[in-house]
Amino acid sequence: MISVHEAKEILSTNPLSLPDTSLPFQKSLHHTLATDVFADRDAPPFHRVTMDGIAIQAASLKANKRYPIEGIQAAGQPQRSLSNSNHCLEVMTGAMLPKNTDCVIPYEKIRLLDGMAEVDSAQYSPYQNVHLQGTDAKKGDRILEKGNWIHAGKLSVLASLGHAQVSVRQLPRVLVCATGDELVPVEQPPLPHQIRSSNVYMLESALKDLGINAKTAHLADERQELKEGIEKALKEYQVLLFSGAVSKGKFDFLPEVFRELGVDTLIHGVNQKPGKPFLFGRKGDCFVFGFPGNPASTLVCFHTYFKTWLSNSLQRDTETPSAILADEVVFNRPVTYHLLVKTTIREGKIWAVPIKNSGSGDWVHLSEADAFLSLPADATVFKKNEVFPITYFHKDNF
């Protein structure tokens, strides 16, 4: 059976080819930038007032000096000019610093009386409380890079730079398909031998976190139904995510049906726990992921394989975070062990606390985990304080 590393190699040599597309910037959230983005002007574009108060010339300051007020410079008004160096203009946060002034004194440090502003002290220097033009970026500077993931902060940069349309990598059309005769819809009371379908919603939600609005389906453990459903889906979607029916059972028809439909199975079985029967294949430009049906297996394989593969296909910049194991773990089998954990931050470090659970079918304790550590196959004792790669379930980033 191949290792996790070998499986990832196979995935990385079979990327999905995704064209670039132009989107209104509000719709670009969670997409990957396809171009660098440059500043169209300085940031800030003018000397920006940072406190509500008065603007004066710093050189004119004396303790208890009274400045006649010439008027108000509000945010959004063209720049005013101070006509007398012993006068002041009231200024509001976000306004242009008026011409012939170089310092802002906040209202809390002055008294307003009869059209005058009296200052407390002379302890102000030039450009105090002023955000100087071009401090953060100069016109032409690169602000965002191709491959950046667009989150709320980056989306606001696109707005600030006037990118009403933005060039991004297209996200794939994905179908999430549950399999199994035992599954009933959430709204339906299950009979004693039935369970509620949950993995499909788990995958649908995990995809939403990546900006992908997937369609969902449910196919019975019935060869012909599976064949017809999948044949159609292979033509309509770029990615099919299945949960269940990939192991050794008499009704685990997926591997066989894929073969019959001409899907080239590139991975079936990985030396890992959970998720041993994981399957990956392709037919032309349509890619197929068969996640083992146990809920923890489905979720761990989604993150380990699908997410990594998508990020690679999108040429997105990624990080490989790690965390400190908070308790010793012994695992006596030579397989990669994806250990469910809950993370906490203590003394500025990320600690991973193992979640006790009864195996990959235990969805109750799965919900307590926010990540998993991947413990290597070539060791059995994993000591407290050792550092291992971590994958987060809920982190926005890849």
Residues in contact with ligand LQZAQKY5 by CB under 6 A are 178-180, 182-183, 195, 197-200, 243-249, 252, 274, 276-277, 292-295, 297, 360-361
Q: From the CB of 327, what's the least distance to ligand LQZAQKY5, in Å?
A: 24
> Is the CB of 31 or the CB of 338 nearer to ligand LQZAQKY5?
338
Q: How far is the CB of 252 from Mg ion (least distance, A)?
A: 4
Interacting stretch for ligand MOO, rule CB under 6 A, among 97-105, 119-127, 178-186, 269-277? 269-277
Q: Is the dihedral of CA 59, 64, 65, 68 positive or negative?
A: positive
CA 243 – CA 198 distance, rounded (Å): 10
Rounded CA gap, 234 and 226, in Å?
A: 12
* Residue 175, CA atoms < 13 Å, CB-side half-sphere: 21
Peptide bond preceding 44 in cis form (omega within 30 of 0):
yes
Out of 28, 32, 57, 294, the only residue in the binding site for ligand MOO (CB under 6 A) is 294
246 binds, among Mg ion, ligand MOO, ligand LQZAQKY5, none (CB under 5 to 8 A by kind): ligand LQZAQKY5
Nearer to Mg ion, 44 or 281 (CB): 281
| Short-list 328, 335, 326, 333, CA closest to 300 | 335
CB neighbour list of residue 389: distance below 8 Å, 6 or more residues apart? 320, 321, 322, 373, 374
CA atoms lying within 13 Å on the CB side of residue 378: 3
Beta-sheet pairing, 272-273 with 88-91? unpaired
Nearer residue to ligand LQZAQKY5 within complex by CB, 166 or 288: 288
Measured in degrees and rounded to the nearest 5, phi and psi for residue 6 equal -65, -40
Contacting residues for 19 by C-beta, under 8 A, at least 6 apart:
169, 170
Beta carbon nearer to ligand MOO, 50 or 304: 304
Q: How far is the CB of 243 from ligand LQZAQKY5 (least distance, A)?
A: 5
- Which CB, 95 or 288, lies closer to ligand MOO? 288
CB of 2 to ligand LQZAQKY5, least distance (A): 15
Per-residue binding string, ligand MOO, 317-356, x by CB under 6 A, is: ----------------------------------------
Amino acid occupying residue 109: K
**What's the min distance (Å) between Cβ of 27 and Mg ion?**
39
3-state SS assignment for residue 132: coil
| Residues 215-234 contacting ligand MOO, CB under 6 A | none
Please list every residue from 354 through 373 that binds ligand MOO, using CB under 6 A.
Answer: 360
Q: Which of 32, 50, 60, 297 binds ligand MOO (CB under 6 A)?
A: 297
Q: Least Å distance between CB 302 and Mg ion? A: 18
Instruction: Note the residue count of the chain.
Output: 398
104 within 8 A of 52, measured Cβ to Cβ: no
Distance CA 238, CA 220 (A): 22
Q: Which is nearer to ligand MOO, 326 or 340 (CB)?
A: 340
Residue where the block lists tokens 């606390």? 353
Q: Single out the residue of 279, 218, 232, 217 nearest to residue 254, CA to CA.
A: 279
According to the binding rule CB under 6 A, does residue 395 interact with ligand MOO? no
Nearest distance, CB of residue 335 and ligand LQZAQKY5, angstroms: 10
Rounded-to-10 torsion of CA 290, 296, 301, 306: 90
**Interface residue with ligand MOO, options 48, 87, 154, 273 (CB under 6 A):** 273
Q: How many chain residues bind ligand MOO (CB under 6 A)?
A: 8
Q: CA-CA distance, 227 to 334, in Å (whole number)?
A: 36
Q: What mask of x and - would describe binding to Mg ion in positions 237 to 276, judged by CB under 5 A?
A: ----------x-x--x------------------------
Query: At a CB cut-off of 8 Å and minimum separation 6, what does 395 contact?
Result: 371
Residues that bind Mg ion (CB under 5 A): 247, 249, 252
Residues that bind ligand MOO (CB under 6 A): 273-276, 292, 294, 297, 360
